[in-house]
Amino acid sequence: MASAPPLTQSESIETTTLVVPGMHCASCMGKVERALGALPGVQSARVNLTARQVNVAHDAALGVPDLVGALVAIGFPSQPRVEDLAPPPSAVKPLLAPLAVAGFACMNVMLLSVSIWSGAEGSTRDLFHLLSAAIGIPAILYAGRVFFASAWGALRHGRTNMDVPISIGVILATGLSLYETLTHGAEAWFDGTLMLLLFLLAGRVLDAMMRDRARAGVDALLRQAAPGAMVVAKGAVDWVSARDLLPGMVMRVASGERLAADGEIVSGNSRFDRSLLTGESAAVPVAQGDAVHAGMLNMDAPVDVRVTAAGCDTTLAEIARTMEAAGQHRSTYVRIADRASRLYAPAVHTLAALTFIGWMIAGAGAYESLKIAIAVLIITCPCALGLAVPVAQVVAAGALMRRGIMVKDGSAMERMARIDRALLDKTGTLTLGRPTPDPQALDALPAQAAQVALALASHSRHPLSRALVEALGARGVTAAELTQVEEVAGQGVHALWHGGPVALRRPDGPTGGMASALDIEGMPLRLILFADRLRPDADLALNWMRAMGVEPSILSGDAMAAVAEVARATHMTAQGAASPADKLEAIQRLQGAGHHVLMAGDGLNDGPALAAAHASIAPGTASDVGRQAADFVFLSDSLMAIPRAMAASRATMRVVRQNFVLAIGYNVLAVPMAMAGLVTPLIAAVAMSTSSLIVIGNSLRLAMAAREPKA
């Protein structure tokens, strides 16, 4: 990242976010950051390629037009971000149609080429060349416009990018193929050109799909806020969209509605679900004067709320910005691609020009020299290099998905591969996050008592009752016949059995944990204890992590006593009663000490912590925000998903490094042969495609990456 000299303390610093839709690769990122960093008064410029935005910290005297002008000068139109919190458009959709056209045309032209390769001569060969031109040229113009537009945007501002040599190679190969066709020549290379475009577009689509998934976490968080609210003004009540709400307006929020803005209760009493910000799932009472925030859910009664902050000024938007900022860090391989891209275009241009000049001096003639120069341009196409990372990530992501682990961000595998510390939330992550009855208490129940307990529990939706129904049902217990069943809120379920009262109710005194009392007339009162139990294979999973050199510990917002019990059972160090800010601080402290930290959590309030960690993982039972913010989501109950994701990520990075070596080795061998005139443009295209297929084949070995190690 480039930056200008630091500003003095007296100068005020502003932050401007520009949307730059033309960025699509590491080279673009580098150009944008360097162009802005070169402006006097710019302190820093940081690109978020996922959102196609750049955040610029600059002197207040430097205006937005200056920043926009600097980007226009290098071929990147931009505009200030509109703070409507709307998600940016997907980068995948514009690429799908060119990819489909390139694939369809490539298959058809290849079929025609097979006949020519089989020995077709004369008018038959000319006919197949004409048919190939009729199919290939429109397809090349349509599918290649992605690269042509980017190359033209760079060239008209006197610069180059990776799309320039690609476009030159495609245009020259197509033009020369047309010339061969019209002059009844022996060769045409429409098939190779289409194959080139197909592989290039496939790499970009895969990359864009991964970036869209990475952005989904922020979008999910922003969707928690209501799109608008009923506003009370001069006795009338009108619906106002969230973007039009202003401080001072009074919103009328009915029961069951979420808030569209931050505010203060001015009338009414209710209970609000504040789990979005605090992680506490129990609703809390609010009254006049209490502060509430966008995204909170009104549980009981209507209230009037005076708006104090709306739109991008809400606490919810601030959390989203924190998550988005965490996504701006750049992986090692993106930095390598950034540096390589600065050299790629001038190096390829120089090699092709030297080849053309050299063969002209050698007396080969313009046609033959141009054909060899085109072969150099095609054979140096970075298809294998471009596929090295996304294909490996996609194959590994598929292998993990079959094991119940969803990969949200392909680049997270690189970060996950370097993890050496793991911070695990307790409830819902280390534990199942749901109560399960004590098996010994169920064993001690007489058959008739178990039948009554099942019958009583089946009439309630309370979590303890549901857990009891599930456990007794799994034991094959059948429900007893009850009459006059009644559930009293906060007290339990009461009924009559054989004319006598029975109840599954709250215990009479403290029990030291979750419990239900089974009260049957004529039988002793029985206490059924419940516990949130550790996930299956927790010990195996923790040992696997330790064997990989990863030290796990507990970081939980639960009370210290509950955390200490799990810490003793799992032999881990623990920090309890941690607020969202405490979790962030713990992650930053470890990162400051040089550790690469994994955060595993499930709560709504874990979103910033999940985004701030080097890598993150959440169970499938986590909140929507937790699932979307995490890099990985595991769907099974087993904790083995965490070390399995680590092992697969490390295997993926090994394959990525091998792919880089293969791609670079291919160029080291192929480029001298092309410059020596030993390959035609068609052979160059086949060689380029073969290198891509080798990279793909090597990546397919990752299909077994999610297996457990042999004992």
The distance in angstroms from the start CA to the end CA of the chain is 46
Q: Count Cβ atoms within 10 A of the Cβ of residue 465 and give its class: 0-12 exposed, 13-18 middle, 19 or more buried.
A: buried
Please tell me the distance from the alpha carbon of residue 562 to that of residue 235, in angstroms, as a whole number.
51
Please tell me the distance from the alpha carbon of residue 493 to that of residue 455, in angstroms, as a whole number.
10
| Identity of residue 524 | P
Q: Which 3-state string (H, E, C) describes 656-682?
A: HHHHHHHHHHHHHHHHHHHHCCCCCHH
Q: How many CA atoms lie within 13 A of 187 on its CB side?
A: 13
Among the listed residues 694, 699, 701, 704, the one whose alpha carbon sits nearest the alpha carbon of residue 389: 699
Task: Please say whether the beta carbons of 426 and 563 come within 8 A.
Answer: yes
Please tell me the distance from the alpha carbon of residue 516 to that of residue 490, in angstroms, as a whole number.
12
Q: Name the helix (H) or strand (E) containing 191.
A: helix 190-222
- Of the residues 163, 262, 425, 606, only one is catalytic, namely 425
Name the DSSP class of 86: P
Task: Please say whether the beta carbons of 276 and 242 come within 8 A.
Answer: no
Give me 262's structure tokens. Answer: 């931050």
Please tell me the distance from the alpha carbon of residue 231 to that of residue 246, in angstroms, as a whole number.
10
Is the dihedral angle over the CA atoms 27, 144, 198, 23 positive or is it negative?
A: positive
- Which residues, at least 6 apart from 44, have a Cβ–Cβ distance to it below 8 Å? 1, 3, 37, 56, 57
State whether residue 256 is helix, strand or coil: coil
Task: Please say whether the beta carbons of 39 and 74 come within 8 A.
Answer: no
Q: Is 425 a catalytic residue?
A: yes
Which parts of 129-233 are beta strand (E)? 228-233
Q: How many CA atoms lie within 13 A of 271 on its CB side?
A: 9
Is the dihedral angle over the CA atoms 650, 699, 633, 583 positive or is it negative?
A: positive
| Identity of residue 46 | R
Please tell me the distance from the alpha carbon of residue 91 to that of residue 88, in angstroms, as a whole number.
9
Please tell me the distance from the alpha carbon of residue 332 to that of residue 166, in angstroms, as a whole number.
25
Strand partners of residue 546: none
State whether residue 579 is helix, strand or coil: coil
Q: How many CA atoms lie within 13 A of 537 on its CB side?
A: 14
Strand-pair category, 42-48 with 79-80: unpaired
Please tell me the distance from the alpha carbon of residue 106 to that of residue 100, in angstroms, as a whole number.
10
For the annotated catalytic residues, the residue numbers are: 425
